[in-house]
Structure 1
């Protein structure tokens, strides 16, 4: 998103969350109401001094008004657009669901474990956690030196920055959803 528009949207969102009118916010900040309206609509590029005044009026750090994460809340990922990776001699298939996103600091995968399949990835970066949800089948998940028998719709959160592994425990395909979150 363009920075000027992002600043305007940030100001408007924060102003409304504090239940302040445009008139009141403009008066506190010492800017005209029309200037504030232009800034909120992304039609005017405020100076550093004006951003500072608005931050004081809204009682937030100026950097909050400058945040521009370009996050798009609506995103469609189709299976045909993702590339699966075959592991464990082809008995395990890892397919991205959502690629890594800098804003949410997470990524998601589908994991299919065929009969007798195992998946033991390298530990992730420090501070990474995984939410593993079994969509079908039964899986033995070893994490943090403990074994867990997970059945359909069971979920387990664990530190993914330590060794862990999944094993299919049934005579059919086990399917999981893996969500990795990278903490700051």
Structure 2
């Protein structure tokens, strides 16, 4: 949803949930009723100052007025549409599953580790957490200064903003699902 439309709907929804009239909200915020009406209809693009006044009048944090929850739950990602990245001399393949999404603050990848493959990416941005689930094989995972051996269907969550690596421990391909979550 367009941000202007999301702001309009958020203001109107919150105002109504607090049982405030447009007149009363406009008076508390110190804006004209016509301006508030234009904002709620999505016809006016409110300044940061006006958003701050409206947030104070509605007694909500200003970022709540900017929330855009027009999140589409149904989304298909086809393997053929996602270009893989070959790493470690071609012994590791990182394939995006779902690209970064602002609403969920997540992105997902499949990681295939062929025989003797090692995947040691650069640490991510501060506050990033990885949820790694082993789908097939056996993998050594070193994260947060600790060594783990993951067996099929084991899962581990760890800080991805510090050095970590995966290493295939068998004579078969190991496959993982990696979900990166970017905390606020």
Normalised to the residue count of structure 2, the TM-score between the two structures is 0.75
For 2:169 and 2:143, locate their aligned partners in 1 and report how far apart those are by CA, in whole Å: 16
How much has 1:93 moved relative to structure 2? 0.7
Show the counterpart of 1:132: 132
Which has the higher mean CA deviation after the structures are superposed, 131-140 or 70-79? 70-79
The 5-angstrom pairing of residues 20-59 of structure 1 reads: 20-21=18-19, 24-30=20-26, 39-42=39-42, 44-45=43-44, 51=51, 54-59=54-59
Q: How does 1:139-154 map to 2 (within 5 A)?
A: 139-154=139-154
TM-score (norm 1): 0.75
CA distance in 2, matches of 1:164, 1:116: 17
- Structure 1 unmatched ranges of 5 or more: none
CA RMSD of aligned residues (A): 3.3
Superimposed CA distance per residue, residues 118-177 of structure 1 (whole angstroms, 9 cap, x where no aligned partner):
212222333332111112222111112211111222111112222211112233221111
After TM superposition, list the pairs within 5 Å mapping 1:92-171 onto structure 2. 92-171=92-171
Deviations 1:47-66 (A, max 9, x none): 6587566434421244542x
- Secondary structure of the structure 2 residue equivalent to 1:8: helix
Per-residue CA deviations over 1:8-44 (Å, capped at 9, x if unaligned) read 121134346xx334xx3425314799986764443x3
Aligned pairs for 1:43-82 (under 5 A) are: 44-45=43-44, 51=51, 54-62=54-62, 64-65=64-65, 67=66, 72-74=71-73, 75-82=75-82
- 3-state SS of 1:73 partner: coil
